[in-house]
Structure 1
């Protein structure tokens, strides 16, 4: 597994700092998950951070979500009895993955993404690639050959399965893909990083001790 290696590109609007209901640490929204409480009192994940209503925030971690569920922290965070579906960790994982696949599909429709070893190689040699994606099933030798062409500003990941890359490109057997440098590449890199953080495949930056809540 190759974690995303390039830093996130800033979002269109600056992200605020929020406090995790589990760790009580203050972090950037990019490193957190937002949840809202539905009208019928159920915790609902808001991966796009756009749903109306009061939100509670949790560190971007499947293990942390399970711990928050065990400690019944959603009811405390919302100051009201809140039901939590037992499959919430799987739902969050699915939504995060779908978000990233949708961004890759958007990049493909915009003409910013290519697939296939030859086209990815061509984009890398030209220095245009901002993000390279290898399917989880990709052969190590092929990944190494392409990664050797990647410059220091090119992110790489082997997080997604071939079926997800197939879905994004609308064709079968997509093993390698690349997205050109630019806004979409930055947003997709950030989305992939959020997936990897959630699954514990890349570390969360330590909190700023000056801003830690006591």
Structure 2
């Protein structure tokens, strides 16, 4: 049984290492923090929640960076939970005081997460953890075919929403069937990606596996509760293997 301490769960990773054929040299644990979801009243892993606080003016404010002062009001990151919280004034109940909900909160939250995703891509590029252009992206994807955690392996394939299907389908083919799986993001247009990365004509990009990719994954998971990360037909169409 996994021990719990101060609303946190300790997960021992040694069993996972053993199953992978590795012998752990020391105890490896990950501390997973839980918070109570104001909609379901269930204890939920923090990564799947969005923190809100009550501002000085009495309005509830989304705190995606989780740095604003005040008591946190945690809500599951999906459109249904947010709609329920707004409709039934659940923020007031959780805060045990009168709380006002700003107009358009249901569209503001996903918009803020989208902006954070673009910020993560910009940071990754400055850190050297993101490559652009068909050939470089293809190389990063091919590394994942040779080893599960090869250095320089692509963790995410970022495709411009208005890019041509031919190049995209070839890269999707390279990303298909890898373990761990390669994430796919098609949220942003060529112009949005180019502006965020400070480059011209960004159609294909790959976010390299590592700490920055993990941060991007968390934001992408949260946004996935509000909208699809890519058009469904991108995965439904047969991959071009030529």
Shorter-chain TM-score bucket reads: 0.7 to 0.9
> Structure 2 CA distance, aligned partners of 1:22 and 1:163?
37
Which entry has the higher C-alpha Rg, 1 or 2? 2
Partner of 2:214: 186
Q: Does the CA contact (< 8 Å) of 1:159 and 1:196 recur in 2?
A: no
Normalising by structure 2, we get a TM-score of 0.72
Partner of 1:94: 111
Q: Does the CA contact (< 8 Å) of 2:187 and 2:229 recur in 1?
A: no
Partner of 1:115: 132
Runs of 4+ in 1 over 6 A off after TM superposition: none
> Structure 2 CA distance, aligned partners of 1:140 and 1:23?
41
Partner of 1:133: 158
Normalising by structure 1, we get a TM-score of 0.81
- 1:57 aligned to 2:80? no
1:163 to partner: Cα distance: 3.0
Q: Does the CA contact (< 8 Å) of 2:184 and 2:229 recur in 1?
A: no
1:201 to partner: Cα distance: 6.2
Distance 1:162-1:64 versus aligned 2 partners, 3 A rule: farther
Distance 1:201-1:35 versus aligned 2 partners, 3 A rule: same
**Larger relative contact order (CA 8 Å, sep ≥ 6):** 1
> Structure 2 CA distance, aligned partners of 1:197 and 1:87?
17
RMSD, matched Cα: 2.0
